[in-house]
Structures are given as structure tokens and as C-alpha cells.
Amino acid sequence: MTTSKEKPELGEADSKHEPCQLENQATNSDAERLDQLGLHVELERRFSLPSIICLCVCLMGTWEGLSSVVAQALASGGVPCLIYNYIASFLCTTATALSLAEIASVYPTAGGQYHWVAALFPSHGRKTVSWLTGWISIGGQIVLTASAAFAGGLIIQGLIVLNDETYVAQRWHGLLLYWAVLAYVFVMNTWGYHALPTCNLISGVIHIVGFLVVFISLGVKSEKNDAESVFIRFKNSTGWSSDGVAWLIGLISTVYPFLGYDASCHLAEELPHASRNVPVAMVGSVVLNGIIGFAYAMMLAFYTRSLTSILDTPTGFPFIAIFLQATKSNAFTIVLVLFIVIIAMTASVASLASASRTLRAFARDDATPFSSFISTVVPFLSR
């Protein structure tokens, strides 16, 4: 993290530089670049390019995230809705990531989007728009953290339902499991900070290995659907009379797995050569996860059968029913689902790490209540 050093007005440090000067500044050392922005480093640059890519990849968790929300797409248009919306989401996210990565290479600070707005928006209204952008960014990251943790807790409850037919799922049970995941996330970000880079690398391996195991298992053990049901046969099960509205509702399932790739920019002040590595991590995580997610979506499309029974599964998650349908084994299904649970918890840790850096950077610019308290770094936790 960083604190201000003779702190300039938000956006002022760069507004006085010409574009050609900024291009040269982007190649300077990390310390020099932050010094030009009126900041100095308080936390060590512990992350490496591989660890930050793994953090972004696991935070997005494209194939895992798609598993947890696939019901929306299947109910809103069937398999074609899943495939075509995924392609559109992948292409649009890649274009957005390329644009943001270019800006991040010039302004590698933890503030991310709100700082970019402060530096690039016209002086009239700059503070207001930057302030709004900051709160939208922080709020979005907090919601993303909560959603990943909530999914992890409920999936664990779904596994209990799968394994014990006598168990009656209660909402408050799911809430307690959600709180347990949040407690783990809090502990990892507070006292496990030093281990985050290593944990990210391990989680990245689990992300890839889990995908390969699930992909091969479904491909080997499931019966294949015909191409017409995958690419043409649209089915609106939402209750909405408009197929267009149903299709747009299904879009949620394919947008959600692409959230979180901007986490690398919020950890820029803890990453060496941030002007180069942050853009690489942003774009690389989108492309890598996009390809993996597309392969997984196609696998679900061709090997998802009996849509009605899958959507009505007592576990609450259609992907668990799909795994069980393919493997015909509770034990094997649990193993496959645990990959998703692990990444859901990892994504929550990564999302909170990103959100906390953004909030602290925002407080550093006196944009939050109790800014001096929020922007303070506790020495024994930061070293």
C-alpha cells in the first residue's frame, strides 16, 4: 500500500504532463513513477507476474463461476443462450481489458479506475466523477467478494444434500456456511497476507487441473447431445413472454464469470514492474480464462441432458446434477465439486484483497469517511 507524500489534488500529478511525457514515465522504475504521482510505497512488492496472473485467473474463476450460475442461462434460453452469450461476453470483455490495460500501464496505482478518471477526465467535474467511480468500484468489489463466498458456502450445503438424503437444507445453515467462508477470507487477508502469492500459485494449478479433470470426466462418461439442441433449439423457461428479455436475463450467467480481471491494477503497488506486468495480467487472465471457459461451456452444452431434472435438483446447483448424471457416483461427483469450492474460496480471498487496496487508496485521497484511519497501514501486518 502507499501513502501520500505532499499529496497533490486527485489527478493533479498527471494532468500537468503531456502525453509524450507520460509515455516515457511509464518506462521508469516503480518508485520513480509513484514519486511522480506524489506517493511512496509502504508495503513490499511481494507479488510476481505468475502469482498476480493466478490471482486474477482464480478471482475470475471462469469455468467455476459458470458452473455456479449456469442455471440462469439454461432456464432463459436453453443451451444456445449459454453458448452465444458466452462468445459475446468473451469478445466484449477482451476488448474492455485491452483498453483498461493500456491506461493501467501509464497509471499503475492501487486506485485503479477512479484514479484513471481523475487523471483523464476534464478538470470541470473531475472530482465528482472520480468520487462516484471510486465508490462504484469499491461497492462492486465488495459485492463480488460476497457472491463468491456465498456460492462457496451454498455449494458445500449442496454437497451435504447430495451425500445425505435425510438432511433437510435450511437457509440458516447456508448462512452459517457463508459466514465460515467469510471468516476464512478475513483471516487470510489479515494474518495470511505473506502467504497470498504462494497460495495464488497453488490455486492457479488447482484451477487448471480441476478443469482438465472435470472436462475429461464429462467427455468420457456422458452421452452426447446433437448439434441442433446445442446451437439452434431455444427454450424459454423463465415465464417471460418475450424471448428477448429471457435471452438478456441469461446473459448474466456469462458476464459474471468474466468479473475481476482488474484486480491486478489494484495490487499494482505490490507488483514489480507494474507498468508492464499489470496489463499482461489483465489481458492474459481474460484470454486464458476465456478459452478455458469456452471449452467448458461447449462441454456442458453437448453433455447436458434432461434439462428439467437438472434445474429441479435438490442440491440447488444444476452443475452438481450434471456431474452426478455423468459420473453416476456420489464420491466422484464430490471430488469434482470440491475443485469449484476451493476456487470459490480463493476468489473470495483475492476479491477482498483487491477491494481493500482500492478502499485504502480511496481513503488515501481523502475520499472516504475516517480516511486517516482507513488509509493507515499496521506495520507488523504489512512487513
Q: What CATH number does residue 185 fall under?
A: 1.20.1740.10
pLDDT for the residue 40: 66
Residue 361 structural domain? 47-382
Query: Which residue is associated with the grid cell 514519486?
Result: 35
Q: What is the pLDDT of residues 123-180, one digit of tens each?
A: 888 899 999 999 999 999 999 999 999 999 999 999 999 998 889 889 999 999 999 9
pLDDT for the residue 1: 42
Handedness of CA 198, 196, 43, 138 (dihedral sign): positive
Q: What is the pLDDT of residues 249-291, one digit of tens each?
A: 888 889 999 999 999 999 998 888 888 999 999 999 999 999 9
Query: Do the beta carbons of residue 284 and residue 55 sit within 8 Å?
Result: no
Q: What are phi and psi of 161, to 5 degrees?
A: -60, -45
In-domain check, residue 11 = no
In-domain check, residue 41 = no
- CA–CA gap between residue 85 and residue 118 (Å, rounded): 33
In-domain check, residue 318 = yes
- CA–CA gap between residue 377 and residue 314 (Å, rounded): 46
- Is the per-residue pLDDT at 18 higher than 50? no
Burial of 155: CB neighbours in 10 Å, binned 0-12, 13-18, 19+ = buried
Give the pLDDT band (50/70/90) at residue 31: low
- Could you write out the three-class secondary structure of the chain? CEEECCCCCCCHHHHCCCHHHHHHHCCCCHHHHHHHCCEEECCCCCCCHHHHHHHHHHHHCHHHHHHHHHHHHHHHHCHHHHHHHHHHHHHHHHHHHHHHHHHHHHCCCCCCHHHHHHHHCCCCCHHHHHHHHHHHHHHHHHHHHHHHHHHHHHHHHHHHHHHCCCCCCCHHHHHHHHHHHHHHHHHHHHCCHHHHHHHHHHHHHHHHHHHHHHHHHHHHHCCCCCHHHHHCCCCCCCCCCCHHHHHHHHHHHHHHHHCCCCHHHHCHHHCCCHHHHHHHHHHHHHHHHHHHHHHHHHHHHHHCCCHHHHHCCCCCCHHHHHHHHHHCCHHHHHHHHHHHHHHHHHHHHHHHHHHHHHHHHHHHCCCCCCHHHHCCCCHHHHC
Q: Residue 43: name the closest of 198, 196, 270, 265 by CA.
A: 270
In-domain check, residue 23 = no
Q: What mean pLDDT comes out for the span 230-252?
A: 82
Report how far apart, in Å, the C-alpha atoms of 33 and of each of 44, 49, 132, 341 are.
16, 19, 25, 39
Q: What mean pLDDT comes out for the span 176-191?
A: 95
More confident residue, 333 or 303: 333
In-domain check, residue 2 = no
In-domain check, residue 146 = yes
| Average pLDDT of the chain, as a whole number | 85
- Is the per-residue pLDDT at 19 higher than 60? no
Neighbours of 226 (CB within 10 A): 10
Query: Do the beta carbons of residue 350 and residue 259 sit within 8 Å?
Result: no
Indicate the pTM of the whole model.
0.86
Q: Name residue 41's beta-bridge partners.
A: 2
Collect contacts of 197-200 with beta carbons under 8 A, ≥24 apart.
197/46, 197/47, 197/48, 197/51, 198/51, 199/346, 199/349, 200/47, 200/51, 200/52, 200/54, 200/55, 200/58, 200/346, 200/350
Instruction: Provide the domain count of the chain.
Output: 1
Give the pLDDT band (50/70/90) at residue 227: confident
> What percentage of residues in the chain have a pLDDT greater than 70?
87
> What percentage of residues in the chain have a pLDDT greater than 90?
52
In-domain check, residue 201 = yes
- Is the per-residue pLDDT at 381 higher than 90? no
- Is the per-residue pLDDT at 24 higher than 60? no
- Is the per-residue pLDDT at 15 higher than 70? no
pLDDT for the residue 35: 62
In-domain check, residue 158 = yes
- CA–CA gap between residue 76 and residue 239 (Å, rounded): 9
